[in-house]
Structure 1
Amino acid sequence: MDIQNILEKTLPGLGYELVDFELTAQGTLRVFIDQPGGITVEDCATVSNHLSRVFMVEDIDYKNLEISSPGLDRPLKKAADFVRFAGEQAKIKTRLPVEGQKNFVGRIERCENDVVTLSFDGKTADIELSNIDKARLKPEFKF
């Protein structure tokens, strides 16, 4: 069984969403988790302890395991991410140009039928999920 399948099957049962993961060349496995209300240090410890045992049983090879929240600028990968964060600011980089540009910073209006509508500079752009190379929330700080 591969790491992604294990994470996708294990984390929801613990009450967490898998945001992303990476295995570095040095053997560090980083797992980014989220849940409504955010992630605490205790959440990271709980997931780390549980995954350590699961990976031992599944014979997954890694040197270090790091569990973390995705941060304020969390990546947006799935349609559900764009739906959840509608109304928020995002930075999106596309694979192919949309209306002559590949880099966007704007507000997520909606995500329907795998198309994200982003408003920026008084305009809107419809960006297909399959054309998104990278997308992250752009934190807004209100004082």
Structure 2
Amino acid sequence: MSWQATVEKTVTGLGLELVECERSAGGLLRVYIDRLPTVPESFVTVDDCERVTRQLQYVLEVEAVDYARLEVSSPGLDRPLNTAAHYARFVGHEVDITLRAPFQGRKKYRGLLQAGEQDAGWRLVFGEAGQEQVLNFQLDEVREARLVPVIDFKGRKAKPAAPSIPKKPDGDLTP
């Protein structure tokens, strides 16, 4: 079994999705994991990364996979889309796509991802409202695709204030 298959089997066995794995110079093995799409609005936690790291350390040692350092993390806000399942999961989201060959003089496009009609690939709708353009493409025409990060600086909804204890006139806090 290849090291990639070993990593994928381990990650999926822990109930997570393997987004990407790569090896780089110096023996670094980098693994990106995500929650399964069956749990909406659920994100990878530090505990998930730690659990996968510990399991991979044991499995890779048993399988005699040579590596110097292991990194396990979430795919980040600009998550890559690598497979048809990734594209299907993120239909309706804004994505950045880089094509392998230029189309009408450009390779990079940003727009709303849609499924093509009758299994005819994928569509990207972009442009100003009322003047939208559509780019139809197949996965083999794409060099790289990533989600456009959505960042909300408004923060979480405010929690209700804790009930306050009334003060007595002499400054005593007991009710």
The TM-score with structure 1 as length reference comes to 0.93
Instruction: Verify the 8 A CA contact 2:77 2:150 in the aligned structure 1.
Output: no
| Partner of residue 4, structure 1 | 4
The TM-score with structure 2 as length reference comes to 0.77
| Partner of residue 120, structure 1 | 126
| Partner of residue 107, structure 2 | 102
Percent sequence identity is 41
| Partner of residue 49, structure 1 | 54
Corresponding letter in the other structure for 1:132: V
| Partner Cα distance (2:64, 2:121) in 1 | 39
Name the larger-Rg structure.
Answer: 2
Gaps of 5+ in 1: none
Corresponding letter in the other structure for 2:74: S
Which stretches of structure 1, 4 residues or longer, exceed 2 Å deviation after superposition? 97-101, 111-114, 140-143
Instruction: Verify the 8 A CA contact 1:18 1:31 in the aligned structure 2.
Output: yes
| Partner of residue 151, structure 2 | 141
Written as runs of structure 1 = structure 2, the 5 A alignment for 1:32-111 is 32-35=32-35, 36=39, 37-110=42-115
| Partner Cα distance (2:103, 2:10) in 1 | 37
Per-residue CA distance 1:80-120 (angstroms, 9 max, x = gap):
11110111111100112234431111110225637121100
| Partner of residue 14, structure 1 | 14
Gaps of 5+ in 2: 155-175
| Partner Cα distance (2:106, 2:138) in 1 | 14
| Partner Cα distance (1:17, 1:114) in 2 | 26
| Partner Cα distance (1:61, 1:14) in 2 | 22
Corresponding letter in the other structure for 2:146: R
Say which structure is richer in strand.
Answer: 1
User: What do you get for the CA RMSD once the two structures are aligned?
Assistant: 1.6
Corresponding letter in the other structure for 2:143: D
SS of match in other structure, 1:109 = strand
Corresponding letter in the other structure for 1:71: G
Give the total of aligned pairs: 143
Instruction: Verify the 8 A CA contact 1:33 1:70 in the aligned structure 2.
Output: yes
Q: Post-superposition shift, 1:66?
A: 0.6
Matched, 1:132 2:138: no
Corresponding letter in the other structure for 1:50: Q
SS of match in other structure, 2:25 = coil
Distance 1:114 1:137, change over 3 A: farther
